[in-house]
Structure 1
């Protein structure tokens, strides 16, 4: 058995290597790849010359579910095994001497495209972080559901323990974000973690509390001239990202001034000290101001017309997933949790996923007697995975082939997005947009839970009906 297991493992490894070799060739060679990151379902590759990439060849590789050329990068949809592909790709790049970040790689032609680069950075930062915060959010949601149904007492040690460890993830979110951001900005991850830890320093928090208790301003003066405003950075993501960006600028600057023999000690010393001081003095407060400003914009839109806002967010949800910019909603939702203790946008994300599932199952219903059993099962499977929160197989394997089906799914998501926001259906913690996440809505009361259940059922049915009525199988 041991020999058989080893052979099976080696066979899988060889198959992965072969697929990656085909992918690298289709991208114009290893030297054409200037950056490689991943989110939950797709590889995000930045290449120097997109004209060298073959979309058709990429799509033909077994395991590739779709390809998107968008936002200054090539996104290759893999699915749940994307992390394995990414690790294997990194190993190949490192072994070839063409590791990501090599200075002698060709200059990226898209460096001047601000929006595209911002979206790439946002996706690169939050994609890897999502599983951790989603896991903690689901734990909080399950606890709320168990408490609401009287399965467990809110005053029990069990609830206290699990609530404490899940809340800790969100409090220390700046550290998770800083580690991920350090990879994007190509700076030492552990110094980035150290800077984030400085932002969350218990001693500074205690000092702020003591000053406020004495009716004094929560401020310190360092070196006699540098003002430090003592703020609560628990859960603050924008200040953490700005801090790591600053670190990426400070590190090479101080490194250039330190003698070679002293670099191992004095470069990290100066990089950490200067960045942490500048962050707590100016960059952190600026980040908090930006966060509050973004929260104000979203809340203002909701106050002006909650129905219209919900409709627009729902209508655009499927298309943002297609172009891989849906992660831009993650910092907005996290910011809403931090500022208001709830978020109205994440329920719309779930509605969008169920709308995609409804349209996909409608396509399956219409094609089940006219296509092969294998194709029919693939369509049905894609619809099921969309219900579970993974929409790429449905979008790229089914809906992108039918323009009207994409529109009916978007329209259904828009309609129920408007209803959801109007009824104030909301979440109190970050979770994955899946039917398994529905118990989390109980944290805001039974009525909120009922609204969420009716929403996901309603949007699925509406999307299914609209697609059945208006989409023909020859509308490819």
Structure 2
């Protein structure tokens, strides 16, 4: 049955107090995000009953209605009904009030900054990684189509890959500046300072000369670290750039601001970043990388418990947004050591379990619309890489199925831990995510597929046999006969 996106938009707006109660709206991949004037109006239970709605929750001051991959069309319908649309997510309501700065809100803001900045750069990281993965797949160790010294192999393995990873500080400068509301060009320029050819020449020469520092402005010592393909140096530097830029705008007259605000901001930030924040970020990056490496490679009970727990509980982390923080840590780990045997592996396996849960529900249910919805939820993950439709549309509707998802993830995580499955790039979030195992050789790829496939099959089987109450099955059978 065709989805009536306009009807969904009308029903949602009616449930939240009408278009006049919505100050602005936006959407992500699966959620319609609404900023409401009167937040007491929506009733979660009533909203969840709307046909086409998978769930609803408050998060970050927004009322988020989980719809699925057709959310852009529902958003367009809401705009046509008089809702003010925003190009980017804006969590501030029209009264301009802000949360007071406390330890709790500071931590929340820091996590939002980290996760949202990293999410903006994921397409770059993922795209570059897929080129290297293709090179490895076609190289001497796998299919043998390209020799390691061929131009096409070098193009895929190094050229395109480095375009994404080497310049990561520049991309992070842009993404962080957008999140912080400061100058994106200056953010990119600061990233360029960390990997400027002149600085990198000194870094490369230091390996032979034994030098450890250079001088900024001739007097300030800066460590000769390689900041290409790093994350934390820029993430630490950008909030300070925001403060410095605001200060410069405040003290420099408007008629001089076009020239002197950028100049003065960079004059301050260059030594602050090179001499202090970037080295601190480099040290923290090493610590995070070593910690994550230890979890995935310690062996024994530590590795087993880590992978089993993360793979089993991953989708609950997705609900809170905390998975984005773990992904950021996983990215730091991959960039620091070149591989990850913990977070990225567990997260990928958890996705297969979620898709399997919905597929098991598809096999068990008989009512045509519900059966089709479950298959759609599963395919939206397998093909589109989105798990929220399955999580909310299947797992939270038939709560026993959540147990199937958790069990499937745990079983897949156990296999991955016992066989030391390792990912070497940030792969796609759909079924192509298994390409992240390619660089580890045939055995790593095979065991990665076995762990993922087992998670899918186990979750599907458990959902099929134990995912529904007798009342739910009786109701489904009656609906199928109607």
TM-score (norm 1): 0.84
Stretch of structure 1 that moved more, 279-288 or 80-89: 80-89
* Per-residue deviation, 1:251: 1.0
Judging changes above 3 Å, is the alpha-carbon distance between structure 1 residues 250 and 215 closer, same or farther for their aligned structure 2 residues?
same
In the TM superposition, residue 311 of structure 1 has moved relative to its aligned partner by 1.0
Task: Give the counterpart of 1:451 among 426, 442, 447.
Answer: 447
- The question of whether the paired residues in 1 share the 8 Å contact of 2:15 and 2:42 is answered with no
My pick for the range that moved more, 404-413 or 146-155, is: 146-155
Structure 2 CA distance for partners of 1:166 and 1:339, relative to 1, 3 Å: same
Instruction: Give the 3 Å change call, closer, same or farther, for CA 143–117 of structure 1 in structure 2.
Output: same
> What count of residue pairs does the alignment treat as equivalent?
455
The residue number in structure 1 matching 2:231 is 237
**C-alpha contact 1:39 1:124 (8 A) present in aligned 2:** no
| Segment drifting more, 107-116 vs 253-262 | 107-116
Taking structure 1 as reference, are residues 130 and 61 closer, same or farther at Cα in structure 2, changes over 3 Å only? farther
Range moving further from structure 2, 457-466 or 64-73: 64-73
How far apart are the structure 2 equivalents of 1:93 and 1:82? Answer: 13
Instruction: Measure the CA separation in 2 of the matches of 1:273 and 1:15.
Output: 55
- 1:23-172 residue pairs with structure 2 within 5 A? 29-31=21-23, 40-42=29-31, 50-51=39-40, 55=44, 65-70=54-59, 73-80=62-69, 92=84, 105-108=96-99, 112-147=104-139, 148-163=142-157, 164-172=159-167
Q: Which residue of 1 aligns with 2:467?
A: 471
3-state SS, counterpart of residue 396 of structure 2: helix
Tell which deviates more after alignment, 380-389 or 54-63. Answer: 54-63
Aligned to 2:192: 197
Q: Does the CA contact (< 8 Å) of 1:26 and 1:57 recur in 2? A: no
User: Which whole-Å CA distance do the structure 2 matches of 1:63 and 1:176 have between them?
Assistant: 37
| Structure 1: unaligned runs, 5 residues or longer | 1-11
Instruction: Please report how far the alpha carbon of residue 258 of structure 1 lies from its aligned counterpart in structure 2 after TM superposition.
Output: 0.9
Once residues 417 and 203 of structure 1 are traced to their aligned partners in structure 2, the CA distance between those partners, rounded to angstroms, is: 45
Preserved contact between residue 233 and residue 281 of structure 2 (Cα < 8 Å): yes
Partner of 2:477: none
Verify the 8 A CA contact 1:366 1:473 in the aligned structure 2.
no
Q: CA deviation at 1:319?
A: 0.8
More deviation, 464-473/19-28? 19-28
Q: State which of 253, 257, 263 in structure 2 corresponds to 1:259.
A: 253
Farther off after superposition, 194-203 or 15-24: 15-24
Matched, 1:340 2:331: no
Residue pair 1:40, 1:128 contacting (<8 A) in 2 also: no
RMSD (Å), alpha carbons? 3.4
Structure 2 stretches lacking a partner, 5+ long? 473-482
Q: In 2, are the aligned partners of 1:38 and 1:124 still within 8 Å (CA)?
A: no
Q: CA offset at residue 242 of structure 1?
A: 1.4
